[in-house]
Chains A and B, each alone.
Chain A
């Protein structure tokens, strides 16, 4: 059941909050042993909160709906480990602002979801909490860093979840797991109570089955109405042509093209757009993110270096050596790129591009299988990250909102289409996503494991 459907069933009394929570917990018990999406289940607390909800005088839009949140968001009384050994036992004193807003709307948090260590990586292969698996193929990664959120929603353990997205961490698992995810405009949703990765670019957003659910959840998170009206007319979609060419799986490009065709047939105006400096955005993003992340972790690098997983430790060490002049240049270039995008996409309500250029990679012998490309394993991993960043970083860098929707399958694995709004233009991107999902059913496909 979707978030909206479940909320409706709860309001009409078809289901009680206790029954809704019990069902979610039963799904987690039955399936999470194979997925490892959850790092903590708040079973007793959630059941108690469900009983209290039944007696609550005020019933918000998410009244009684069981949700789960990525383990970088504080939930009062529950540990926030952020996928790391360093934060083991770090019990939160109060809710993060995002969680507080969900709870004020009536939602019940049933658990914390697996993440790449400190949200700093795209695979959710934590050395400390184990790998979260892709529900469509358990030997594949589920993406990251909000991998547990993607896996939990795809496997229907919960109808919706929160993730965080700095350089792609909601969109990558959304695409790899076949769910809908929203990276909101930078600054739209307060990040208080989130374990930060990079202050300039961090965001918190929803992951759910469809755009209507994401609109409902984002509305609660942002304190406004993002009702996803599924009328594509009066929408102009700009196709980012260069991201349909070059170094991506041609079958993914074809699926994304078909998705754009579906939007056109549904009534949207579609035109090609060429964005300047698109291929430089990933480097600019990293020149901001690397030193910011390292600054956040500096004390722990001194005292607990060995406690980081090897990949995250490597990235944090690299951040020590990004010159301050590079950081300043990156901030200045961000303005140039944002202005260039705005000018090239003037008159366009949302941009369209494949969310990612590849399907979820395999995990074998304790490692993600990256194409070695002639370099060391560390360099191969970096090249994989760069290929993802080419698709996700441009929108993070300029603070634009992105809705990733499932748009097909390649080798039995889901692929996604990104609909990128203007800054604070979530409504148009969600409207395009809802219009697309009205004429397609990719978002309704379930992995066999979930059936």
Chain B
């Protein structure tokens, strides 16, 4: 199960990219990630065994 990063971990990860959000922004991001990351992780269950890799949408 994906662990949601703490605000401190988010701050450090953003800083490594040269971005410096404030505490309130990071707290809001963490609140969103707490819902979003488990939902994203569960998508794997939709992939049948041997499902192909990423592909563009089919052309016309």
Which residues of A are at the interface with B, using a C-beta cutoff of 8 A?
185-188, 277, 280, 283-284, 286-287, 298, 301-302, 305, 310, 313-314, 317-318, 320-323, 326, 328-338, 375-376, 378-379, 382, 398-399, 423-424
Of the A-B pairs whose beta carbons lie under 8 Å apart in the complex, a sample of 17, sorted by A's number, is A188-B60, A277-B46, A287-B40, A305-B19, A305-B20, A318-B36, A320-B13, A320-B17, A322-B40, A329-B44, A332-B54, A333-B46, A376-B28, A382-B32, A382-B35, A423-B58, A423-B60
Q: Is the CB of A317 within 8 A of B25?
A: yes
On whether A378 and B47 interact (CB within 8 A), knowing A286-B36, A302-B17, A320-B14, the answer reads: no
Separation of A183 and B54 alpha carbons in the complex (Å) = 24
CB distance from A288 to the nearest CB of B (A): 10
Separation of A34 and B30 alpha carbons in the complex (Å) = 38
The B29-59 residues at the A interface (CB cut-off 8 A) are 29, 31-33, 35-37, 39-41, 43-44, 46-48, 51-55, 57-59
Q: Is the CB of A321 within 8 A of B10?
A: yes
Separation of A160 and B40 alpha carbons in the complex (Å) = 38
Query: How many A-B contacts are there with CB distance less than 8 Å?
Result: 106
On whether A330 and B43 interact (CB within 8 A), knowing A305-B19, A317-B21, A424-B60, the answer reads: yes
Give 3 closest A-B pairs by Cβ, nearest first. Answer: A331-B54, A399-B57, A378-B28
Q: Is the CB of A314 within 8 A of B18?
A: no
On whether A317 and B43 interact (CB within 8 A), knowing A302-B17, A423-B58, the answer reads: no
Residues from chain A with Cβ under 8 Å of B26 in the complex: 317
Q: Is the CB of A398 within 8 A of B57?
A: yes
Partner of B32, one of A283, A379, A399: A379
B8 interfacial contact with A, CB 8 Å? no
Residues from chain A with Cβ under 8 Å of B59 in the complex: 187
Chain B contact-residue range equals: 35 or more
Task: Kindly list 11 other residue pairs between chains A and B, CB separation below 8 angstroms, not including A186-B57, A317-B21.
Answer: A188-B60, A280-B46, A283-B40, A318-B33, A320-B13, A321-B13, A326-B40, A332-B52, A335-B51, A336-B48, A423-B60
Q: Is the CB of B52 within 8 A of A314?
A: no
Residues from chain B with Cβ under 8 Å of A286 in the complex: 36
Most B Cβ at <10 Å: residue of A286, A333, A375, A376:
A333
Partner of A314, one of B10, B17, B28, B57: B28
On whether A337 and B46 interact (CB within 8 A), knowing A302-B17, A305-B19, A326-B41, the answer reads: yes
CB distance from A220 to the nearest CB of B (A): 18
Which residues of B are at the interface with A, using a C-beta cutoff of 8 A?
2, 5, 10, 13-14, 17-21, 25-26, 28-29, 31-33, 35-37, 39-41, 43-44, 46-48, 51-55, 57-60
Residue of A nearest to B38 (CB): A283
Q: Is the CB of B40 within 8 A of A338?
A: no
Residues from chain B with Cβ under 8 Å of A187 in the complex: 57, 59-60
CB distance from A25 to the nearest CB of B (A): 39
Residue of A nearest to B9 (CB): A321
Residues from chain A with Cβ under 8 Å of B20 in the complex: 305
Residue of B nearest to A330 (CB): B43
Separation of A296 and B33 alpha carbons in the complex (Å) = 20
Separation of A233 and B19 alpha carbons in the complex (Å) = 57
Separation of A212 and B29 alpha carbons in the complex (Å) = 43
